[in-house]
Amino acid sequence: MSDDQKKSNFRPFVPSEKIVPEMTAISVLMGLILAVVFGAANAYLGIRVGMTISASVPAAVISMGIFRGAMQKESILESNFVQTVGSSGESLAAGAIFTLPAIFLWAKEGRMDKPEFFEIVAICIIGGLLGVFFMIPLRNALIVKEHSILPYPEGEACAEVLIAGEKGGSKASTVFAGAGIAAVFKFLTDGVKVIPAEINSPADGLGMYKGRIGTQINPAVFSVGYICGPKMSSYIFAGGLVSWLVLIPLIVLFGSDATIYPGTEVIAELFAKGGVDMIWSTYIRYIGAGALAAGGLISFIKIFPVIIRIFKDSFIHFISNKSENITRTEKDMSTKVIVAVIGLITLFIAIVPTIPIGIVGAIIIVLVSYFFAAVSARMVGLVGSSNNPVSGMTIATLLFATVFLKMIGKINEPGMKAAITIGTIICIVCAISGDISQDLKTGYLVGATPVKQQYGEILGVIIASFSISAVLFLFDSVGGYGTDIFSAPQAVLMKMIVEGVMGGKLPWALVFSGAAISICAEIAGITVLPFAVGIYLPIQLSACIMAGGFVRYIVENKKYGSEREKESSSSRGILYCSGMIAGEGLVGIVIALLAVGGFAKFIDLSKVLNYSSVSGTIVSIIAFLIMIGLVFKFVFRRRTKR
């Protein structure tokens, strides 16, 4: 069957000939509010722990609740527009907080002036708009023509949530049950903290063997594993096992009496201070960075012919596309507008003093951004936004950008700031292009108007750029970055990479070792990118993802009375886990706002309970088993006949 035949056989939930409310005043307002809220909350979470929470499903659930509950109206396309705008704030935050705090850290060290507010806003807007406008020409090639090839997990999950909310009944109740249960777990673990959020083996290893294993009790991370499935989850977990059960024990064993850069003390002393976590932060992050960079490059090389075909198809589609010949669900933004905006952004990059690379350098940045946008958009179609290696692509960009700037004489502080700025733009482009591709997939499934979604994404990017910039300055003024509260782990890593390249002190041996591991994984037939992500992530995250994937394996391999029953159970699992992502996201925002306002300490009961290591572990294991048991309860629930 040809692509055109597959396209003609697909029918969205809302047919193209049907006109329903979509981009209305209330949906725009709700979307912008959620873009600000999710952007601010995820900036906080990302700076605290180096990860963000997907906002598409939570935004969809909120909009459904308001439209169907408070306003007593059914409008799936309005709800979809709200989640499109709202999720842009989360994606922009992910791109900004992974890099920009490095500039504040340098200012804190007295190495350069603190950035201006509108300087940060401009960087965010540049990256955000490039991410949006680059994805628009790719929509037909990636979302429409490869509809049956690229699943876009979060996009499909969000569509399931929206359709379930529109239909009501048991599907909607499954979503909201997952949201409510995850909200309770999140509040108990990270709010009042009556349940320790992690289960870990001892931090100092087991006797002579200095490895570690553990898992988080995290409904959202667990749900990502369930939605991605057992195969992808196992690759991530395998990478984590290599880092935490192979590399860390070997580093401690062979280097215990040595001082190895970037460490400044004997490894045995580092281990005595912080256990396996200290070894991970000092050495494994560089190995993981190399693995991610190589994994991203390998993935790019493998799909390069596909990317070229996508560019060709997109160009032909856009050149030949006439507005009078297309339906509502095929309408994209004008090609002339896209080209004009990208041209103006390129010119702005060339003249802005923060990026002293001229017009040729600006064109190179834009072209590199375009390729990364295409790679990111296709990668999230396969592995989901949660597994999109944004930081890996940013690390690769920083390495090349810093080397390039050093070669043309832009060294020391000006070159370092320029490198971080370039890295930020690329990072935001990757995050936004991945987000909008998921949103456009959702829109394709529910029957949204693409051009209206694209307008919504632009609005979200602009408003979120101001709010996230304000949050960055707020956190800098409250506690500063690099502290226990605002550790900014990703930005600290980016800072070290730029300093290492500029000063000639980057631990290349560790970086190349990580790259070699990724190459070996590729030769062995392992999907390299999720494997590399696992090497870089803490084992607690990888294990929690694996737990979700294992539960999905059990669900898919159980004996059912019919294929319909199997599909029904699988669908309920995805809906329930989508709801869990929503529930954790919503409570995560509340906890973030409480922390920023200084109220979190008043509800923290961890010091009152004062668990021992054994009792705390028992409580965590029981809670984790209850969370998994509830998943099975809803997955295997039989519908009662009326």
Per-residue pLDDT tens over the stretch 265-286: 899 998 888 888 889 888 998 8
Take residue 136 and report the two structure tokens written for it: 């628009």
Q: How confident is the model at residue 1 (pLDDT cuts 50, 70, 90)?
A: very low
Contact 156, 445 (CB under 8 A): yes
Amino acid at 84: T
Q: How confident is the model at residue 196 (pLDDT cuts 50, 70, 90)?
A: very high
pLDDT reading at 393 higher than 70 = yes
Output the pLDDT for position 435.
Answer: 86
- Count CB atoms within 10 A of the CB of residue 9: 10
124 part of a folded domain: yes
Take residue 368 and report the two structure tokens written for it: 């590199």
Q: How confident is the model at residue 395 (pLDDT cuts 50, 70, 90)?
A: confident
17 part of a folded domain: no
Contact 447, 16 (CB under 8 A): yes
What is the average pLDDT across 79-99? 87
Output the pLDDT for position 454.
Answer: 94
What is the average pLDDT across 11-18? 85
Look at 189-203, 309-323, 332-346, 360-374 and tell me which has the smallest mean pLDDT.
309-323
Instruction: Identify which of 379, 442, 412 has the alpha carbon closest to the alpha carbon of residue 164.
Output: 442
549 part of a folded domain: yes
Please state, for a pLDDT cut of 90, what percent of the chain lies above it. Answer: 24
191 part of a folded domain: yes
381 part of a folded domain: yes
Residues whose CB is less than 8 angstroms from the CB of residue 15 and which lie 6 or more positions away in sequence, other chains included: 447
Say what angle helices 25-49 and 56-64 make with each other, to 10 degrees: 140
Estimate to the nearest angstrom the gap between the alpha carbon of 614 and the chain centroid: 34
Output the pLDDT for position 285.
Answer: 80
Look at 34-43, 56-65, 433-442 and tell me which has the smallest mean pLDDT.
56-65
Question: What is the CB-side half-sphere exposure of residue 635 using CA atoms within 13 A?
Answer: 24
Q: How confident is the model at residue 530 (pLDDT cuts 50, 70, 90)?
A: confident
Contact 100, 126 (CB under 8 A): no
Estimate to the nearest angstrom the gap between the alpha carbon of 283 and the chain centroid: 24
pTM of the model: 0.77
Torsion angle defined by CA atoms of residues 397, 387, 485 and 469, in that order, rounded to the nearest 10 degrees: 60
Q: Alpha carbon of 47 to those of 190, 401, 482, 598: distances in Å? A: 16, 24, 9, 16
Contact 424, 503 (CB under 8 A): no
Q: How confident is the model at residue 322 (pLDDT cuts 50, 70, 90)?
A: low
Q: Identify each DSSP E strand in 455-510 by its residue range.
A: none
pLDDT reading at 5 higher than 50 = no
Contact 145, 373 (CB under 8 A): no
Take residue 307 and report the two structure tokens written for it: 């990317």
Before 262, cis peptide (omega within 30)? yes
Take residue 396 and report the two structure tokens written for it: 């690769």
Which domain, by its residues, includes 458? 26-635
Q: How confident is the model at residue 244 (pLDDT cuts 50, 70, 90)?
A: very high
199 part of a folded domain: yes
**pLDDT tens figures, 92-120:** 988 888 889 999 999 888 888 888 999 99
Contact 179, 580 (CB under 8 A): yes
Helix (H, G, I), strand (E, B) or coil at 517: helix
Contact 544, 215 (CB under 8 A): yes
590 part of a folded domain: yes
Output the pLDDT for position 71.
Answer: 66
Question: What is the CB-side half-sphere exposure of residue 209 using CA atoms within 13 A?
Answer: 8
Going by the DSSP 8-state scheme, the letter that residue 113 receives in this structure is P
Contact 152, 439 (CB under 8 A): no
In the chain, the number of structural domains is 1
Output the pLDDT for position 2.
Answer: 41
- Count CB atoms within 10 A of the CB of residue 455: 18
Estimate to the nearest angstrom the gap between the alpha carbon of 266 and the chain centroid: 35
Token pair 């992530």 in the structure block, residue: 537
Which string of b and e fits 464-480 if b means at least 16 CB within 10 Å? bbbbbbbbbbebbeeeb
Look at 309-313, 331-335, 538-542 and tell me which has the smallest mean pLDDT.
309-313
11 part of a folded domain: no
d(CA 256, CA 246): 15
